[in-house]
Amino acid sequence: MRRIVIHRPGGFEQLYVESAADPVPQPGEILVRSQSMGVNYADSIVRMGLYASAKKYVGYPITPGFELAGIVERVAADVTDVRAGARVVALTRFGGYATAVSVPRRQVFPIPDGFSEEEAGGFPVVFLTAHYALSELAHVREGDWVMVHSAGGGVGMAALQIARLRGARTIAVVGHSDKVAHVERLGADVIVDKSKEDPFKVGRRAAPAGFDIILDANGPATLAASYENLRPTGRLVVYGFHSMLPRGTGRVNFLRLAIDYLKIPRFSPMSLTNDNKSVLAFNLSYLFEETSLLERGMDQLLVWAKEGRIKPLPTRAYRFEHVAQAHRDLESGKTVGKLVLVA
């Protein structure tokens, strides 16, 4: 097999393609021959050396990657409900950037109906993130006003679909005008190009009392304003801090990182109580032991896919050896939907 290895944190040049023997499935595992592998912003943060769970669970050298789609090649003797030849998607806690991966059975699911292998490789992480944020944490309800930052990205486009099927009204915030058409096709009620307009001012015209839910992975650039624009009983869901990270250079500016860290709002429990607002946060890479949570989420997503209620995202595929270009493009902030590597 081939795999991407990061021996030490750094820029794009730290992504090495290496050969290795195929893994042997251990008890309870399935060997999947990968056809496509999702590229997520978390993978870039792993490469930069800033992803805490990568240090906790693996260390360096490390093969990044949280998801893949492919064909089952072998199963351990104690796995009886999945057969060789099955088309599957898999969640991985790192190690996903490889052409063969041995994965615990509980992290393997059928390819969703209506998704190609390429589209399926970028399906699990963004849809599971959006579903967990909206359904499990924020408890989205019919009629809620939901603001989605970074709505042209993978999690954002997944969140728009899930919010709508739950009956919520959506305000999609994008960073470039060329992303507007993509979120229009997902039926967003209000679309704001933040390069031209203030998203909160525009959004408050539709929701003058404030927003019921805001999904924010920007970090200090918007967190304080997101909180201020919640209505009473509103929920701010935090799942990233992208504005603290480099845009296109691939290398961390540690001085800027430190300054931005100091700008992160500190939410006082007393203020939260008096404001009747909630701040919720999560990182799925720490939740792989919560098997019922992950399985419940994936099962629901597969039902929605079968019913045609969630659709594949725009997907750009890169050859496996072009992983550095995929990271460079993702970090530029100009991509739409999902990026995947293809074996």
Helix axes 41-48, 323-332, angle to 10 degrees: 110
Per-residue model confidence (pLDDT) at position 248: 79
Last residue of a domain, one of 285, 302, 323: 285
Strand order in the sheet with 211-216: 190-193, 169-174, 145-148, 211-216, 230-238, 278-281
Mean pLDDT of the chain: 97
**221 inside domain:** yes
Quickly list DSSP for 242-284: GGGS-SSS-S--HHHHHHHHHHS----HHHHHHHT-EEEE--G
Q: Which of 238, 268, 285 is at the close of a domain?
A: 285
Per the DSSP assignment, residues forming a β-bridge with 4 are: 17
Token duo for residue 208: 């003058």
pLDDT in tens, 201-247: 999 999 999 999 999 999 999 999 999 999 999 999 999 999 998 88
Q: Are residues 203 and 91 in the same domain?
A: no
Task: Name the token pair of 245.
Answer: 């990270």
| 318 lies in the same domain as 216 | no
Per-residue pLDDT at 60? 98
51 and 151 in a common domain: no
Here the tokens at position 135 are: 């359904």
Residue 14 lies in a domain: yes
pLDDT at 238: 98
Q: 109 with 244, same domain? A: no
Beta-carbon count within 10 A of 182 CB: 21
Q: What is the identity of the amino acid at 227?
A: Y
The 8-class DSSP code of residue 3 comes to: E
The reply to whether 292 falls in a domain is: no
Domain with residue 230: its CATH number is 3.40.50.720
Please give the pLDDT value at position 249: 87
User: What is the tally of structural domains in the chain?
Assistant: 2
Contacts (Cβ under 8 Å, ≥6 apart) of 112: 89, 120, 123, 301, 302, 305, 306, 310
8 and 49 both lie in a single domain:
yes
- Cα 334 from chain centre: 16
Locate 5 and state its tokens. 């290895």
Q: Are residues 88 and 192 in the same domain?
A: no
Residues 82 and 130 in one domain: no
**301 part of a folded domain:** no
- State the pLDDT at residue 246: 86
> 46 in a domain, yes or no?
yes
Last residue of a domain, one of 244, 270, 285: 285
Q: Token pair 């870039």 is at which residue?
A: 44
Radius of gyration, alpha carbons of the chain: 20
Do 57 and 195 share a structural domain?
Answer: no
pTM, full prediction:
0.96
Task: Kindly state whether residue 217 falls inside one of the protein's structural domains.
Answer: yes
For the stretch 58-108, pLDDT in tens is: 999 999 999 999 999 999 999 999 999 999 999 999 999 999 999 999 999
65 vs 267: CA distance, rounded Å: 32
Reference 36, options 316, 294, 308; nearest CA is: 316
What was the pLDDT predicted at 87? 98
The CA distance from 254 to 49, in Å, is 12
* Residue 312 DSSP label: P
Domain that holds residue 265: 126-285
Residue type, 40: N
Which CATH number belongs to the domain containing residue 27 in this structure?
3.90.180.10
296 belongs to a structural domain: no
Rounded Cα–Cα distance for residues 117 and 134 (Å): 26
- Whether residue 317 is found in the same domain as residue 251: no
Residues 89 and 229 in one domain: no
List the chain residues with pLDDT less than 70: none
Please tell me the predicted confidence (pLDDT) of residue 63. Answer: 99
Query: Same domain for 93 and 45?
Result: yes
> 45 with 33, same domain?
yes
- Please give the Cα distance from 120 to 114 (Å, whole number): 9
